[in-house]
Amino acid sequence: MNEHVLDDLEAYALGALDRADAERVAQHLGGCESCRTEAASLAEVVGTLPETVTPRDPRPVLRDRILAAARTDIPRPAPAPMRRWSLGSVRLSRVAFAGLFASVIVLGAADIDAYQRTTAITAQRDQLYALIESLRQGGREWYMAGKGGFAGAGGTLYDPRADGKQPFVLFHDLPPIPAGKVPTIWLVSPDSTWARAATFRPNGQDIQAVPINMEVAGFDRCAVTLEDSPWGPRYGAVVMESRIAPPAP
Amino acid sequence: MPEQQPPDDALLASLAARDLGALATLYDRYGRLAYSLAYRILGEGEAAEDVVQDAFLSAWRGAGSYRRDRGNPRAWLLSIVHHRAVDILRRKTTFRPAPLEMAESQPSDDDTALAAEKNVEHRTVREALEALPQAQRRTIELAYFGGYTHVELSELMGVPLGTVKGRMRIGLQKMRRALERTR
């Protein structure tokens, strides 16, 4: 059996061992009940130390950032099988049809075939309905053109400004994403604080909608980067961006 | 009648089931404490927020593998915050054991006691820490809040490594006894 590590348990509990020593202690604890019991008791004492710090409030936006990032982890229902679009299978009113058609024109999005396939996916269709509604109600939009390896791709940030409708980005023609990279949408405040609005994985479709669980108001720029991690500050290069103009007076 | 709040263990179970509302409740319960700890270690608001975000998302993603023997959910969450913050502190290329005076001024908040007095539990912990002889208290604070390893503390304080370990051991034992007396 390994030699007991009682001599290092206090430093281990305080996080005051270097990585190699901490791993050695952790490995021992895995197989030693008596040391593990003592380590747990010390950890309980050390766990009270945060109570001694001066209470400080984080900015309220931190809560939104955390919930938005967590929301992107929730698996979405599998999309309905792709099918050719028809008036019989998707009952669109004339108004809705006109709105959808207009939205495609507004987006400058792909051809009618891509449009038809997109409308066959329920979730995407719902997003387009939201878009129509937002356009009716004075929603706003900003187009982010792709750069470098994303040339030819783009994304439009929509702020529906309608009750119950959350903002989203509608991407088109996203290229394959390098392994290990995490496409990330950011909202940037006037003081250059980058707030992670959403992370996502390309779905392989011509068009992809990514919801954002944050208010757009208060930010003056939106951007897309490729990050190494689904959380943390921005490190990746900007592959799309746009200024967010304030609403017209 | 006030609405009953779910216990921490139930919140973690809900996190494992991908309940965003449980995450929001957990944040409302411990977000401020987590941020206060990260800020105390890093001394900078933006970095502290990033640490808190990382910690809550780690809890969100790791709740399914949480085991009670790692400590209660609050201690588990705060240990994630602590490890993340200290990792960042140590990764800074400029991080070296600072002169003793500077290192002492960093973790010593004069207003800490005043703010903590508002809460009985805070006061108990604070009193247990303050009751320690200065050398033991400094060693514990510099290790936990300053991110120093025991070897660095030995150099920083100019004492043998065994002395640093002894101060940690005796200091934490005294705190444990003091906290047990109040329970």
Whole-number Å distance between alpha carbons of A184 and A171: 12
Quick one: A232 exposed, middle or buried, by C-beta within 10 A (0-12, 13-18, 19+)?
middle
pLDDT band at B63 (very low <50, low <70, confident <90, very high): confident
The pTM of the full predicted model, rounded to 2 decimals, is 0.58
CATH class (in words) of the domain with range B1-95? mainly alpha
Contact at CB, A232 and B109, closer than 8 angstroms: no
Average pLDDT for residues B73-85, to the nearest whole number? 92
- Reading chain A (249 residues) residue by residue, the pLDDT tens digits are 457 888 999 999 999 998 889 989 988 988 888 998 999 899 989 999 999 998 999 999 899 888 888 887 665 554 444 443 333 333 344 444 445 545 544 444 444 444 444 444 455 555 565 566 555 566 788 888 888 888 888 888 888 766 566 788 888 888 888 888 889 999 988 888 888 888 888 877 777 888 887 788 888 899 999 988 777 788 888 999 988 876 554
What residues of chain A lie within 8 A of the CB of B150, using their CB?
11, 16-17
pLDDT by residue (tens digit) across A183-197? 999 998 888 888 888
What residues of chain B lie within 8 A of the CB of A76, using their CB?
none
Q: Helices in A85-198 by DSSP H: which ranges?
A: 94-107, 112-119, 122-136
Where is average pLDDT lowest: A86-100, A159-173, B132-146, B149-163? Answer: A86-100
**In chain A, where are the structural domains located?**
6-52, 61-243
Whole-number Å distance between alpha carbons of A248 and B29: 39
Contact at CB, B176 and A45, closer than 8 angstroms: yes
Q: Where in chain B is the domain with CATH 1.10.1740.10?
A: 1-95
**CATH no. for B97-183:** 1.10.10.10
What residues of chain A lie within 8 A of the CB of B23, using their CB?
66-67, 70
Residue B160, pLDDT > 90, answer yes
If you measure CA to CA, which chain A residue comes closest to B168? A10
B109 against A38, higher pLDDT:
A38
pLDDT number for residue B103 = 45
Query: What amino acid is encoded at A20 in this protein?
Result: A
Half-sphere exposure of A179 (CA within 13 A, CB side): 0
Task: Tell me the count of A-B CB pairs closer than 8 A.
Answer: 164
What ipTM describes this predicted complex?
0.85
Phi and psi, residue A194, nearest 5° = -95, 120
Whole-number Å distance between alpha carbons of A225 and A162: 28
Tokens 């990033």 appear where? B50
pLDDT number for residue B166 = 96
Closest to A58 (Cβ–Cβ): which among B49, B122, B144? B49
If you measure CA to CA, which chain A residue comes closest to B127? A52
Please provide the DSSP assignment of A52-94 as one string: GSPP-PPPTHHHHHHHHHHHTTSPPPPPPPP----TTTS---H
What residues of chain A lie within 8 A of the CB of B35, using their CB?
56-58, 62
